[in-house]
Amino acid sequence: MEIIVILDNIRSMHNIGSIFRTCDAIGNCSIVLCGISGTPPHKEIHKTALGSTNYVKWKYEESTEKAILKLKKKKYNIIAVEQNNLSTSLNDFNTKSKLIALVFGNEVNGISNKIIEICDSSIEINQYGLKKSMNVSVAAGIVLWAITNK
């Protein structure tokens, strides 16, 4: 299985660095940084990435929409990680696809409806607290581990 993580306008360089580190740990993962997402080399990314930016393949795309459309042409299954009316629980998610792209959205605004509409599906992590909100790097770790180990 090949996984591409699409980071849609992630504000925090620390979150970006943590996601690089998680992708390195997963081992079959690359990253597309989009919009306002920072890119290596950056000291705040380096602080949490701990050198993983040297091993994880990444590229920058100005537009998340264009990044997704390019991957669709390559037959990737594009999955938004977002709570919405159409999301499937991560526990119930199954795919036969060997090419997966996971879209993670901005820490405050999430993934826009425009981007969700061009994704093939949406998944969400079951949450039981009142806020029902998770840090994007934590969510990425949970989803990447779960999908890799199914």
pLDDT tens for the 150 residues of the chain, in order: 999 999 999 999 999 999 999 999 999 999 999 999 999 999 999 999 999 999 999 999 999 999 999 999 999 999 999 999 999 999 999 988 999 999 999 999 999 999 999 999 999 999 998 888 899 999 999 999 999 988
pLDDT of residue 84: 92
Length of the chain in terms of residues written = 150
pTM above 0.85, yes or no: yes
Give residue limits of the domains in the chain.
2-148
pLDDT of residue 95: 87
For residue 95, which amino acid is it?
T
pLDDT of residue 110: 95
Whether the CA torsion 8, 145, 27, 88 is positive or negative: it is negative
Homologous superfamily of 2-148: SPOUT methyltransferase, trefoil knot domain (3.40.1280.10)
Q: From the CB of residue 131, how many other CB atoms can be counted at a distance below 10 Å?
A: 6
pLDDT of residue 63: 97
| Crossing angle of the two packed helices 13-26 and 136-148, in degrees rounded to 10 | 10
Distance of CA 48 to the CA centre of its chain: 17
DSSP helix/strand/coil, 88 = strand
